[in-house]
Amino acid sequence: MDSMRDMPGKPQVDGNTPTDNRDGDQNELRQQWETVSNHMRAEIGEASYQSWLRPMTVRGMTDGVVTISVPTRFMRDWATAHYQDRLTELWRAENDALAGVEVVVHSAPCTAAEAQPKREAAKAKEAKREKGDDLSAPLDSRFTFDQFVVGKPNEFAYAAARRVAEADSVPFNPLFLYGGVGLGKTHLMHAIARHIREDQPERTVIYMSAEKFMYRFVSALREQNTVDFKQQFRSVDVLMIDDVQFIAGKDSTQEEFFHTFNALVDQGRQIVISADKSPSDLEGMEERLVSRLNCGLVADIHATTYELRLGILQSKAHKLGVQIPAKVLEFLAHKITANVRELEGALNRVVAHSQLVGREISLEATQDVLRDLLRANDRRVTIEEIQKQVASHFNVRISDMHSARRARSVARPRQVAMYLAKQLTSRSLPEIGRKFGGRDHTTVMHAVRKVEELREHDTTFNEDVELLRRMLEG
Ligand code: ADP
Ligand code: MG
């Protein structure tokens, strides 16, 4: 089975199954798929595209039905529910002979992932459970599914987490959650652990940080007690290890983790892992461990969007039981973009301050209380990020930002990027000019004026620039 992360940038058409393809040429199919998936990309956004469309492989077309395969049953169900109709519509626009689109699961060599756990005697289970529970780190009572605000950037990870929590068997193995700091990985892990413990108390769940796992392993080595160590881990139903990037590069721990991991997967036990990077990007991870990690479901939590941040703020304000003007929440969602942890911290500070001084929360007070934090967030946009974002928005190469090409199709995006660099960073005109292929500061000035002028007269252009600005500011 291919994993979604192993695949190159584009969704695929499988060239190896010509016999499946009786209704048309594989090339045509490939072109149609490219058009359809590009449409979808524009419609559903980059995050959902990466999660759902990219892992898809077009298998072929038979009797007018295009078959698309995905790595897991979970993905098939989701894709069928969310995208099948739209894919069919879009595809029909490309090929009116199309009768439908069908989503299937790749034939899977990672079969242990779908195995059922062996049921054991209730008594042994009970003993195991106690052991598991005290091995496990405590769970934060706030980290539940109910308290998790779902939006585009995290809906896939959330759905995958729920699936693992609600299934009484193993829907995919491992579940690998990854994303930047403070985006909700630990929250989802705790939510899974809590849910399983409450709903299926007969299953042993161990949740611990990778650091703790390492520490225990090293202690066991020192006390020459590794048999016990192995026994403990290998008798759980659900093993959850948070922040596995900490065991990357630590050879003996990695080795042990790999054995434990394999043993559990082979017995059909559920593994859930989190990291700050995708399996393939984890440095110092052994190849076989990476490919094993890639065998299950890899779900990434993307950076927050404005909408998600606002949703989270509304939910937290509600929970705190305080009235906060919409303007203040919007301001925070706009400005505090790094991660959810920082966003929560900012909200708490604003609320605490107002209670302390006994004044209502206002925009001015908020700006005042958060001055240092806001400044730190302001500094985050770099000219490189602006160039990257603008280039991808207008579909030009990043190198065109520096190049001497003057064709309108590249000159205009370049001007937009210069304008945004002026608006969003504290760089001077000459500094900005240097970052755009060593241009003169008067060129930058001209670009800024030109963009200002266009914004006034061209609504579509104005919306484009505004959208870019919002995305860059978070
Ligand atoms: P990570 O483990 O990815 O670094 P955490 O799970 O510790 O991040 O999340 C940081 C904080 O942000 C926690 O308090 C968590 O409850 C909160 N948080 C993150 N994402 C969400 C969300 N979608 N809805 C509500 N709270 C969230
Ligand atoms: Mg964490």
Residue linked to tokens 């003996």: 252
Instruction: Give CA 200 to chain center in angstroms.
Output: 28
103 neighbors 80 (Cβ within 8 angstroms):
yes
- Domains delineated in the chain: 4-105 (3.30.300.180), 126-301 (3.40.50.300), 306-378 (1.10.8.60), 383-473 (1.10.1750.10)
Q: What does the pLDDT look like over 304-334, one tens digit per residue?
A: 989 999 999 999 999 999 999 999 999 999 8
Atom of ligand 1 nearest to the CA of 179: 3
| pLDDT in the model for residue 50 | 79
C-alpha 351/C-alpha 324 separation (Å) is 9
- Four-CA torsion 245, 247, 249, 253, nearest 10 degrees: -160
| pLDDT in the model for residue 295 | 82
| pLDDT in the model for residue 12 | 56
The ranges of the chain with pLDDT < 70 are 1-24, 107-134, 377-380, 474
- CA 433 vs CA 9, 194, 403, 436: distances in Å: 32, 54, 12, 5
Outline where DSSP puts E strands in 222-314: 238-242, 270-275, 297-301
| Nearest residue (CA) to ligand 1, atom 19 | 184
Ligand 1 close to Cβ of residue 181 (< 6 A): yes
Outline where DSSP puts E strands in 175-311: 175-179, 205-209, 238-242, 270-275, 297-301
| Nearest residue (CA) to ligand 1, atom 11 | 341
418 neighbors 452 (Cβ within 8 angstroms):
no
C-alpha 329/C-alpha 315 separation (Å) is 11
**Structure tokens of 273?**
């892992």
| Nearest residue (CA) to ligand 1, atom 14 | 341
**Structure tokens of 309?**
């941040």
CA atoms in the 13 A half-sphere facing the CB of 84: 19
| pLDDT in the model for residue 110 | 56
Residue 308 CA, ligand 1 centroid: distance in Å: 12
Instruction: For 377, list phi and psi in degrees, rounded to 5.
Output: -70, -35
Alpha helices in 301-339, H assignment, sequence order: 306-320, 326-335
First to last CA, the chain: 36
Instruction: Give the pTM.
Output: 0.68
| pLDDT in the model for residue 108 | 53
| pLDDT in the model for residue 348 | 95
59 neighbors 102 (Cβ within 8 angstroms):
no
Residue 187 CA, ligand 1 centroid: distance in Å: 5
Atom of ligand 1 nearest to the CA of 154: 23
Residue 391 CA, ligand 1 centroid: distance in Å: 31
- Four-CA torsion 225, 226, 230, 233, nearest 10 degrees: 60
C-alpha 405/C-alpha 397 separation (Å) is 12
Ligand 1 close to Cβ of residue 264 (< 6 A): no
| pLDDT in the model for residue 344 | 95
- Four-CA torsion 389, 390, 395, 396, nearest 10 degrees: -110
Ligand 1 close to Cβ of residue 182 (< 6 A): yes
**DSSP state, 19?**
G
Ligand 1 close to Cβ of residue 151 (< 6 A): no
| pLDDT in the model for residue 70 | 86
C-alpha 149/C-alpha 311 separation (Å) is 7
